[in-house]
Structure 1
């Protein structure tokens, strides 16, 4: 199967060079061919290595056993995201969906620490004692959560 991709990528690359050498080439065709060549290279790399290209650790290390990206967010924790916006809040449907998507990026630990810190107003030492984890773990979870959600500063 990899050989087929390699052969076809070679053909597409030759077509790409002929197309870019032509002065009157349609820009949308050039874009389409460039995209196809890039996608084929990506697939070949994936088939060759058995890992998704571009990920340093990929699924092998952390993502294989985590299912939090596929579960439905418990919107009871965020009632303001499931209600229509109040008079003093101007949250569009698109912003609401973006907020939910950003929250879904967090691991369960990051979400728990962030909620306890931002919603309940607890400090890292209080969170650590309640969750029975180290203060450094809480701090690193909060740091990662804030990196994933820019507005969580």
Structure 2
């Protein structure tokens, strides 16, 4: 199966070979040819970096930052288009009318921003930084809104025993 990225990589590689041929034909005795050679070298380097990026899925030479946080692995697990041959269907859970009512009552008690931040972070799996970028607010504000939402939810759920644990398992939630 030939994917669009594979075709794009082969086009870039062919373009890089053409540039190398043109660079080889230049005579460095002329000033204009020296300048052209600099531009061609720059273009070849840019194409090489782009090819490596497309092949690996990572920015070339980036040894810190995003790669250390394992963002690419996390995205691979979220994006099921990367696994077209697998017939994995997420298991849907049915909740009772009582649980639905409880969920609505809890979410209604949250402010608009608390609800947005909490649902994006806990239900959609966004990081706090991603939530901040999405809502165009600071990461500290997102942390505070989520903390407030969790406190309100925990207070509301303290009297109920039928709750589902969150991702970390250390606090109660309704997701």
Scaled to the shorter chain, the TM-score interval is 0.3 to 0.5
- In the superposition, the TM-score normalised over structure 1's length comes to 0.39
- In the superposition, the TM-score normalised over structure 2's length comes to 0.34
Higher Cα Rg, which structure: 2
